[in-house]
């Protein structure tokens, strides 16, 4: 049985299933200090696209003919490490394999009694941390301000919006279908939503949905949508640059409006980040998120695709927005 | 004699002398509490271009058929205000008139024994404050880092570079002539200079001049030069967006590289500012600048044009880079 997914070719533009290769590799026996893991849930995320290019970035590119690595929840099925027992569940950055051996380093135990296992890849994992720390550390939201979120129906965006509501902001989301807009309002408590696919003039639509202007923009998409936001920012606006999914598949360098005149005019800030910049804040953030989740203040949406063989397609579907909330593959 | 300069037409693209009108207006007698001022030095600055457009910005646009306002040093030639005596010199935002009446509000006395009067429009005025506070408050430079300055031979840029050297950074400047580059190195102590007019590939030239990458970019110009900088920024780079002279005269919205992917990749920051955001830091900054000036640690360059009638042309010449350092008109 094919048990491993390698990067076969570097994608050009939108990734294709043929950029990946399924192989059968021998599963090693765990040695002393090691554990044998069986993959349960695999996280597919837009940022993985960047690692498929052969370009310097904040993390090194994936190597060709090597397994892809992403967030995974796995079960310990054999343990020769005193810190882990058979039957434990762990979360961490692991390879796209059905089974793999690990030293346990950088893996965290997760508790299926506290939350469904898939949540540890989403709201209680990198997704939730990205939303919470990006919004609070860079966006610095203040009660009564207006928060605009792009990619609002995505994994991170839907959490950002809810945290904004908890903190007392007016929250407006941008997403790509009427169904997603309904979900933003009914499930996640957004005040207003904009369907960018059916809205002719985004600049005016944002102005209408944000009558007091935009104080914090949490940007998951980049491109034309983010250009339209620039016309609507307030003085001292903070633009949290979390992702740019709209341009990840471009084969030449994307262009857009020069942001500098807007930044000067409004004394505004744009800042990019990766969650790894804030590791020392993880415990505090996790506690906050788990508390809100337990208190019923945070909803989360998942799109769960079944089957190891469907991991590449699930990843590719992120770029056409087929997911609502966090996209996870159940193996 | 023509004694007043009005904005006659809103400039389209690069301003023309014909956008301004010289008129003769009656000089009022100062009433009780007022002073009569005679203009000595007039500051012409790139940011004035923005106020000539009929567009919302951080300060309201100039009105047509009204005098232009900029930084001016004037002599008190008659005083009916106890705070000012005949013979005092003052600095503040005043009208482009040979003589004018003022209540003295928002004017500061300046001392010609401490520094030449024109310096109060430059190194000891808004120029120096902009350089110091933009660099320290947003750029947050650290010893040993690399500071890149665009518009480096301009009023603000030449001060930014010197402060960078005082603070122990490697400082590289971008300017538009070999003579300016020589001046950057010999007068202002820059480590390296790039003449953007004769350099084919700015991206490579910056990489060569900044072998350890760019930690702080103090941006006075925007446009293609700033796009080239993006390829050379380090992780956690800070881009201080002070001006965008290269695009102020564009008649459509300027476009360029999408900055968001670069900001994400490097966890980098871009922030616009105006000096008015930092008023509470002015006294501390002035003290610092005056101290360095006195200690001979700061040089400053001025381009002094003579004659009230040459104010519009001096302003226009900013956009073709005819000035070295601060451009001032002596009346």
Which pLDDT tens digit goes with each residue over B277-292?
Answer: 998 998 899 889 989 9
| A223 to chain B, closest Cα gap in Å | 7
Judged by CB atoms closer than 8 Å, whether chains meet at A257 and B257 is answered as no
A282 falls within a domain = no
H runs (alpha helix) in chain B? 48-51, 126-133, 155-166, 178-186, 202-209, 223-230, 260-266, 282-294, 311-317
B36 has pLDDT over 70: yes
B55 has pLDDT over 80: no
Judged by CB atoms closer than 8 Å, whether chains meet at A263 and B270 is answered as yes
Contact call for residues B301 and B183 (beta carbons, < 8 A): yes
Contact status of A268 with chain B (Cβ, < 8 Å)? yes
Residues of B within 8 A of A218 (CB-CB) are none
pLDDT of residue A253: 87
A291 falls within a domain = no
Question: Residue A263 is nearest to which of B260, B267, B272, comparing CB atoms?
Answer: B272
Report how many domains make up chain A: 2
Specify whether A308 is located in the same domain as A258: no
pLDDT of residue A175: 97
Residue B156 CB contacts under 8 Å (≥ 6 apart), including other chains: B127, B130, B131, B134, B220, B242, B243
Percent of chain A predicted with pLDDT > 90: 83
Question: What's the rounded mean pLDDT across residues B214-228?
Answer: 96
pLDDT band for position B322 (50/70/90)?
confident
Residue of A nearest to B263 (CA): A272
Specify whether A144 is located in the same domain as A111: no
CATH code of residue A94: 3.90.180.10
**Hey, what's the torsion of the CAs at A44, A46, A52, A58, to 10 degrees?**
-110
| Averaged pLDDT score across all residues of chain B | 94
Bridge partners of B194? B174
Question: Residue A272 is nearest to which of B253, B254, B266, comparing CB atoms?
Answer: B266
Cα A140 from Cα A266, distance rounded (Å) = 17
Specify whether B136 is located in the same domain as B116: no
Specify whether A205 is located in the same domain as A312: no
- Interface contacts A/B by beta carbons within 8 Å: 121
CATH code of residue A134: 3.40.50.720
Give exposure, B277-310, as e/b (b: 16+ Cβ within 10 Å).
Answer: bbeebeeebbebbbebbeeeebbbbbbebeebeb
Contact status of B257 with chain A (Cβ, < 8 Å)? yes
| B293 to chain A, closest Cα gap in Å | 28
Q: Which one of B57, B60, B203, B264 would you mutate to disrupt binding with A, by most A Cβ within 10 Å of its Cβ?
A: B264
pLDDT band for position A57 (50/70/90)?
low
Place of tokens 């616009």: B272
Judged by CB atoms closer than 8 Å, whether chains meet at A262 and B244 is answered as no
B58 has pLDDT over 80: no
Among A81-85, B93-97, B157-161, B297-301, name the one with the lowest average pLDDT. B297-301
Contact status of B253 with chain A (Cβ, < 8 Å)? yes
State pLDDT tens for residues B246-255. Answer: 887 777 889 9
State pLDDT tens for residues A294-306. Answer: 899 999 889 999 9
Find the domain containing B118 and state its range.
Answer: 4-122+300-330
pLDDT of residue B216: 98
pLDDT of residue A58: 64
A227 has pLDDT over 70: yes
Residues of A within 8 A of B257 (CB-CB) are 253-256
- Dmax over Cα atoms in chain B, in whole Å? 63
| B326 to chain A, closest Cα gap in Å | 20
Contact status of A259 with chain B (Cβ, < 8 Å)? yes
Question: What's the rounded mean pLDDT across residues A116-142?
Answer: 95
pLDDT of residue B258: 95
Specify whether B66 is located in the same domain as B195: no
Specify whether B178 is located in the same domain as B209: yes
Judged by CB atoms closer than 8 Å, whether chains meet at A264 and B271 is answered as no
pLDDT of residue A251: 78
H runs (alpha helix) in A70-172? 126-133, 155-166
pLDDT band for position A245 (50/70/90)?
confident
Cα A305 from Cα A314, distance rounded (Å) = 7
| A72 to chain B, closest Cα gap in Å | 23
Specify whether B136 is located in the same domain as B113: no
pLDDT of residue B95: 97
A196 has pLDDT over 90: yes
Contact call for residues B137 and A269 (beta carbons, < 8 A): no
Specify whether A176 is located in the same domain as A308: no
A70 falls within a domain = yes
B59 has pLDDT over 80: no
Contact status of A244 with chain B (Cβ, < 8 Å)? yes
B57 has pLDDT over 70: no
B117 falls within a domain = yes
State pLDDT tens for residues B110-161. Answer: 989 888 999 999 999 989 999 999 999 999 999 999 999 999 999 899 999 9
B167 falls within a domain = yes
Contact status of A272 with chain B (Cβ, < 8 Å)? yes
pLDDT band for position A250 (50/70/90)?
confident
Specify whether A320 is located in the same domain as A237: no
Specify whether A173 is located in the same domain as A204: yes
Question: Residue A272 is nearest to which of B57, B268, B273, comparing CB atoms?
Answer: B268
Specify whether B180 is located in the same domain as B259: yes
Q: Which one of B260, B263, B266 would you mutate to disrupt binding with A, by most A Cβ within 10 Å of its Cβ?
A: B260
Judged by CB atoms closer than 8 Å, whether chains meet at A261 and B271 is answered as no
Question: What's the rounded mean pLDDT across residues B7-26?
Answer: 95
| Averaged pLDDT score across all residues of chain A | 94
Contact call for residues B44 and B311 (beta carbons, < 8 A): yes
Contact status of A256 with chain B (Cβ, < 8 Å)? yes
Query: How much is the ipTM here?
Result: 0.86
| A275 to chain B, closest Cα gap in Å | 10
| B279 to chain A, closest Cα gap in Å | 14
Specify whether B139 is located in the same domain as B271: yes
B290 falls within a domain = no
Judged by CB atoms closer than 8 Å, whether chains meet at B272 and A272 is answered as no
Touching B: A residues 34-53, CB under 8 Å: 50
B39 falls within a domain = yes
B99 has pLDDT over 70: yes
Count of other CB atoms within 10 angstroms of residue A220: 27
Percent of chain B predicted with pLDDT > 90: 83
Is the C-alpha dihedral spanning B143, B146, B150, B154 positive or negative? positive
pLDDT band for position B40 (50/70/90)?
very high
A286 falls within a domain = no
């Amino acid at each position: 049985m094919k048990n491993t997914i390698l990067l076969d070719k570097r994608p050009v533009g939108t990734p294709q299933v043929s950029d990946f290769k399924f192989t059968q590799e021998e599963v090693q026996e765990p040695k002393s200090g090691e554990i044998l893991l069986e993959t349960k849930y695999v996280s597919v995320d837009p940022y993985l696209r960047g690692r498929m290019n052969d370009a310097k970035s904040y993390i090194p590119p994936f190597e060709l003919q090597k397994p892809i690595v992403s967030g995974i929840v796995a079960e310990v099925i054999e343990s020769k490490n005193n810190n882990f027992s058979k039957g434990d569940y762990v979360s961490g950055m692991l390879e796209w394999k059905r089974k793999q051996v690990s030293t346990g380093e950088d893996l965290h135990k997760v508790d299926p009694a506290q939350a469904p296992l898939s949540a540890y890849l989403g709201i209680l994992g990198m997704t939730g941390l990205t939303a919470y720390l990006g919004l609070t550390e860079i966006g610095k939201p203040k009660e009564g301000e207006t928060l605009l979120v792009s990619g609002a129906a995505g994994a991170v965006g839907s959490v950002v919006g809810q945290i904004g509501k908890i903190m007392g902001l007016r929250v407006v989301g941008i997403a790509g279908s009427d169904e997603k807009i309904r979900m933003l309002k009914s499930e996640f408590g957004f005040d207003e939503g904009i369907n960018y696919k059916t809205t002719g003039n985004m600049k005016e639509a944002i102005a209408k949905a944000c009558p007091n202007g935009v104080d914090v923009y949490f940007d998951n998409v980049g491109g034309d949508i983010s250009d339209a936001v620039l016309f609507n920012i307030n003085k001292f606006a903070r633009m949290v640059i979390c992702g740019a999914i709209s341009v990840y598949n471009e084969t030449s360098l994307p262009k857009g409006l020069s942001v500098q005149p807007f930044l000067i005019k409004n004394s505004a800030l744009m800042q990019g980040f990766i969650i790894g910049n804030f590791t020392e804040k993880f415990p505090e953030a996790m506690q906050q998120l788990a508390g809100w989740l337990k208190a019923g203040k945070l909803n989360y949406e998942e799109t769960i695709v079944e089957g190891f063989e469907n991991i590449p397609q699930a990843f590719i579907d992120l770029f056409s927005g087929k997911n609502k909330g966090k996209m996870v593959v159940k193996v």
